[in-house]
């Protein structure tokens, strides 16, 4: 009985006062680019620098190029340097984070140039988390003064990688077809440049028409289509040595070449008697394998990231559509079922998506779909555009766009553009001449 009373009183007086932990789901936030401050670099012990090196003003140019790179990615909002109040050396050694928080920066980049004992130029940079007041990345690189652009690109890649969890794409090059002259006498040269349009270089003289250049993802090698004895043929070109060679001895025309992800094979179309099929060739053994044999036109093959599958386009169903097959040619499956025509499928290096050109009611679209054909998403639309090529991290596509010719058939120009997977960040890439058929290299510093 006593016990009963006790229980009764305890219930009466000790009501539940403990509260469970409050859990709150945060599912929304800002989708603005990350506010970033990039402090100018500084020269450590300027007396050691030659006047020539000082004249290059690398301590300003490197951070400027990093800013340009990050801004172009669409993921960073670089704050105007005029609002920076801290001197570059303090920012690099022991930044006062409040000063940077004041201008609403969430991360900050600082750096310095050093001439070391062996008289080499060393570039150091640090990435700071302003909000949590700590250093989150740091790196020192040796450089020759002339390679300062690459240094800036490598630093940009490091920052990009640290802040997004993904590899960057700034230390890369783009190969494209440079076009000059009137439409009926177009001179097309193979050209290569940095991802941002700098360091432009021509690789061929323009005597022969060149088309569809593609990078070997693992080496400094290019494959492209050019004319040999008035017949389009696939060529190989070593960028470093300038050596050129015709691929294989085919009794017809070969075109639309592309490397396998390991760089050991070339896959291409071979056309004879009005029928084109897909062939692969091992570069070391030169063994050729026929992968499709269908009376329709099969072309534009591209390997998947793991090399186990191939996507290509074919008109076997009556109109041009995208297909996927195993890399030995078996299991052919159509994946594009939307309205319109689909072409130039390219498998993303990340493996999840296939980029393509779609033609629908006279308009050209660049889009992506999953490798099973689902989730088709059109990123950009224009009068004429095609040939998407992936950045090495699979987040950005480069392609070319042609403007309408005037009434006399002149005034048409073509240029290179890039767009990221969000479909938001569309940018033109500066080239000296008109440009078409771009292809993105892998990361150079990997």
Partner 1 sequence: MYKSVSLSVLFHIIFIVLTVVSLPFIKKEPITAQQLIAIDIIQISEKTQLPFAPKAREIIEKIQKEKEKRVVTKQAPPKITPKEKPKAVPLPDQLKEKAKEEKKKQNPEEIKELVRQSSEFEKKELFDPNKIAALIDKSKEETAEIKQKQSLELTQNQDSSVSLNKGITLSQEDAIKAQIYKCWNIPLGLPYDQNLLVRIRLKLKQDGSILFSEILDHARMNQPGQGFYKVLAESALRAVKLCDPLKMPATGYEKWKDLQLNFDAKEMLRG
Distance CA 110, CA 117 (A): 23
Options 202, 227, 228, 360; binder of partner 1; rule CB under 8 A: 360
Residue placing its CB nearer to partner 1 in the complex, 16 or 94: 16
Options 1, 2, 4, 19; binder of partner 1; rule CB under 8 A: 19
How large is the C-alpha radius of gyration of the chain?
A: 28
CB under 8 A: which stretch of 31-39, 117-125, 184-192, 205-213 binds partner 1?
31-39
Nearest distance, CB of residue 417 and partner 1, angstroms: 8
Options 27, 146, 330, 331; binder of partner 1; rule CB under 8 A: 27
Q: Residues near 238 by Cβ (< 8 Å), separated by ≥ 6? A: 220, 221, 222, 244
Q: Does 277 bind partner 1 (CB under 8 A)?
A: no
Options 115, 395, 400, 414; binder of partner 1; rule CB under 8 A: 395
The CA–CA distances, whole Å, from 444 to 154, 216, 218 equal: 9, 12, 9
* Paired tokens of 170: 């700034």
Using the 8-state DSSP alphabet, how is residue 306 labeled? Answer: T
Options 1, 4, 22, 284; binder of partner 1; rule CB under 8 A: 22
Torsion from C-alpha of 95, 98, 101, 102, nearest 10 degrees: -120
Options 5, 13, 29, 80; binder of partner 1; rule CB under 8 A: 29
Range 327-346, binding partner 1 (CB under 8 A): 339
Q: Does 75 bind partner 1 (CB under 8 A)?
A: yes
SS3 58: helix
Count of residues touching partner 1 (by CB under 8 A): 55
Distance CA 386, CA 366 (A): 7
Options 333, 377, 410, 411; binder of partner 1; rule CB under 8 A: 377
Residue placing its CB nearer to partner 1 in the complex, 113 or 354: 354
Backbone angles phi, psi at 145, to 5 degrees: -55, -30
Range 191-220, binding partner 1 (CB under 8 A): none
Beta-carbon-side half-sphere exposure of residue 360 (alpha carbons within 13 Å): 15
Q: Does 33 bind partner 1 (CB under 8 A)?
A: yes
Q: Does 372 bind partner 1 (CB under 8 A)?
A: no
Torsion from C-alpha of 67, 68, 71, 72, nearest 10 degrees: -160
Options 116, 135, 166, 372; binder of partner 1; rule CB under 8 A: 166
Q: Does 12 bind partner 1 (CB under 8 A)?
A: no
CB under 8 A: which stretch of 109-117, 201-209, 363-371, 434-442 binds partner 1?
363-371
Q: Does 132 bind partner 1 (CB under 8 A)?
A: yes
Q: Does 4 bind partner 1 (CB under 8 A)?
A: no
**What residue has token string 């794409």?**
169
Residue placing its CB nearer to partner 1 in the complex, 163 or 247: 163
- Whether the CB-CB separation of 40 and 59 falls below 8 Å is answered with yes
Options 26, 47, 205, 284; binder of partner 1; rule CB under 8 A: 26
DSSP 192-259: EEETTS-S-EE-S-SSS-EEEEEE-SSSSEEEEEEEETTEEEEEEEETTT--EEE-S--SSEEEEEEE
Distance CA 197, CA 174 (A): 8
Nearest distance, CB of residue 188 and partner 1, angstroms: 24
Stretch 82-121: interaction string toward partner 1, x if CB under 8 A: ------------------------x---------------
- Whether the CB-CB separation of 269 and 288 falls below 8 Å is answered with no
Stretch 410-429: interaction string toward partner 1, x if CB under 8 A: ------------xxx-xxxx
Q: Does 446 bind partner 1 (CB under 8 A)?
A: no
Q: Residues near 244 by Cβ (< 8 Å), separated by ≥ 6? A: 235, 236, 237, 238
Where on the chain is the footprint of partner 1 (CB under 8 A)?
A: 11, 15-17, 19-35, 74-75, 106, 129, 131-132, 136, 160, 163-166, 339, 352, 360-361, 363, 365, 367, 376-381, 395, 422-424, 426-430
């Amino acid at each position: 009985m006593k016990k009963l009373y006790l229980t009764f009183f305890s219930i009466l007086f000790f009501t539940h006062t403990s509260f469970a932990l409050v859990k709150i789901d945060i599912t929304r936030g800002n989708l603005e680019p990350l506010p970033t401050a990039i402090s100018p670099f500084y020269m450590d012990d300027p007396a050691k620098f030659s006047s020539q090196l000082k004249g290059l003003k690398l301590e300003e140019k490197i951070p400027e190029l990093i800013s340009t790179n990050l801004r172009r990615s669409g993921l960073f909002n670089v704050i105007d340097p005029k609002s920076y109040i801290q001197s570059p050396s303090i920012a690099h050694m022991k930044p006062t984070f409040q000063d940077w928080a004041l201008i609403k920066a969430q991360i900050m980049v600082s750096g310095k140039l050093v001439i070391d004992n062996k008289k080499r130029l060393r570039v150091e940079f640090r990435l700071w988390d302003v909000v949590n007041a700590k250093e989150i990345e740091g790196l020192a690189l040796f450089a020759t003064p002339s390679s300062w652009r690459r240094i800036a690109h490598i630093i940009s890649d490091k920052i990009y990688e640290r802040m997004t969890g993904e590899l960057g794409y700034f230390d890369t090059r783009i190969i494209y077809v440079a076009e000059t002259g009137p439409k009926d006498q177009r001179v097309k040269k193979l050209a290569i440049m940095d991802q941002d349009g700098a360091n432009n270089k021509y690789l061929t003289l323009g005597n022969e028409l060149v088309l569809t250049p593609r990078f070997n993802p693992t080496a400094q090698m290019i494959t492209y289509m050019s004319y040999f004895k008035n017949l389009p043929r696939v060529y190989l070109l070593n960028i470093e040595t300038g050596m050129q060679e015709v691929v294989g001895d085919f009794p017809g025309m070969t075109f639309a070449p592309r490397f396998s992800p390991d760089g050991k094979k070339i896959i291409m179309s071979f056309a004879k008697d009005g029928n084109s099929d897909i062939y692969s060739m091992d570069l070391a053994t030169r063994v050729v394998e026929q992968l499709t044999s269908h009376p329709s036109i099969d072309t534009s093959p591209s390997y998947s990231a793991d090399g186990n599958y191939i996507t290509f386009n074919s008109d076997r169903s009556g109109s041009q559509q995208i297909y996927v097959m195993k890399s030995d040619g078996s299991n052919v499956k159509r994946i594009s079922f939307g309205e319109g025509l689909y072409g130039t499928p390219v498998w993303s290096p990340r493996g999840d998506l296939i980029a393509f050109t779609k033609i629908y009611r006279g308009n050209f679209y660049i889009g992506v779909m999953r490798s099973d054909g689902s989730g088709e998403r059109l990123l950009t639309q224009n009068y004429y555009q095609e040939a998407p090529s992936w950045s090495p991290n699979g987040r950005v596509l480069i392609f070319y766009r042609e403007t309408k010719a005037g009434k006399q058939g002149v005034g048409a120009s073509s240029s290179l553009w890039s767009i990221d997977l969000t479909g938001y960040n569309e940018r033109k890439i500066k080239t000296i001449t008109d440009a078409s058929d771009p292809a993105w290299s892998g990361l150079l510093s990997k």
